[in-house]
Amino acid sequence: MANICKNTITVVGLKESPDTFLKAFSKAVFSLDLDDLDPSWWGATEDASGWYSKLVEEYREEGCYAAKYCILYPEAPFSKLGVVAPRFYVETKWKPPVNELITASEQFPELTFHMHWLVMQDGPIGQVVVCNGGIVEQCLRLGSWYLFDDLRYPYATLLDAHLPFTLAQHAALRLDNAIYDVRSLKEVLEDERFIKSRSRPFSASRNQEKTDKVLAGLTALLDSMRLQIDNLDFSGVLLEESDLHADESGDRAGEEVLYEKREA
C-alpha cells in the first residue's frame, strides 16, 4: 500500500472564481476533467454523472478520510489581515506533486503557488513555492505528526512572503508567529499523548508540580503577549515605497512654494 502524501495548495494572485479555476487547474496538474471522471479509476462502481460533486460533499462531511488520490478539493481560503487566497487539498501517492505543479504553473504564469505537504506516517514534511514553471523557494524537514515534532523540527511558513502584505503587516505577522510558537509549545504540554503517556520512565519521572507551573507561566506569557501586541501599530513606522514617494512629492511641492515666495 502506498504512503499517502497530504498536500495543501494556496494560489496567490487569482482573479477569477476559485470554482472555475479549480477545473482548469485539475486538467493542468493531473490531466483530470472534474466534469468527466471515471469512478472505476478509483475502484468505485458508482454512476459517473455528477461524481465530483458527490466527492466534494463527502469530503466536506468526512474530511481527508474521504479524499481520493489526485482529486482536488476546495478548502477554506487563507485569510489574514484582509489578505485572502484560495486553497485546495489533494492527496497523492508516495510524494508531493511538485513536478506536476511546476508544469501546470506554466499555463498560469501570472499566479504563484504555495504547496505545503506531509508524507504519512513518518514524514518528511515540506513546502515549495512555484511560479511560471520554476521553483522560487522550498524547504524540507524531517518532522511529521508526532507529539514533539513541532519542537524538534520547527519551520516558518514560506507563504507570507509571497502574499501582498505591507511591510507593517509583515511586522504584525512576525508577532503573530511568536504567539503561535508559544501556543504550540503550550499545546504539547496539554496534549493527551503527553498527559496520559504510558511511556516510562517519562510519565513516571515527570515533575508534575513543575509541569503545572510551566503551563501556568506559558498561559500568562500568552495573555501578556496578546495584550501588548494589540497595543502595537506599525503603520506610519514601517513604510512602503509608495509612502516615501508621496512624502517626496509633498516635500518638492513645499520647496516650490517657498521658492516662489522668495522670488516674489
- 3-state secondary structure string across 225-254: HHHHHHCCCCCCCCCCHHHHHHHHHHHHHH
Angstrom distance (rounded) from CA 131 to CA 138? 12
Task: Say which residue the cell 501517492 belongs to.
Answer: 93
Asked whether the beta carbons of 94 and 119 are under 8 A apart, the reply is yes
Q: What are the φ and ψ backbone dihedral angles of 199, each rounded to 5 degrees?
A: -80, 115
178's CB contacts (< 8 A; 6+ apart) are: 225
Which residue stretches of the chain are H helix? 18-30, 51-62, 98-105, 149-152, 167-190, 192-195, 202-205, 208-230, 241-263
pLDDT at 244: 74
| Segment (H or E) for 154 | none
pLDDT at 107: 96
Fold of 4-149: Alpha-Beta Plaits (3.30.70)
The residue ranges of every structural domain in the chain are: 4-149, 167-230
pLDDT at 259: 45
pLDDT at 19: 92
Angstrom distance (rounded) from CA 161 to CA 170? 8
> What does each of the 264 residues of the chain score in pLDDT, given as a tens digit?
679 999 999 999 999 999 999 999 999 999 999 999 999 999 998 888 999 999 999 999 999 999 999 999 999 999 999 999 999 999 999 999 999 999 999 999 999 999 999 999 888 999 999 999 999 999 999 988 888 998 999 888 999 999 999 999 999 999 999 999 999 999 999 998 888 877 655 677 788 899 999 999 999 999 999 999 989 999 889 888 887 765 555 555 555 544 455 555
pLDDT at 258: 45
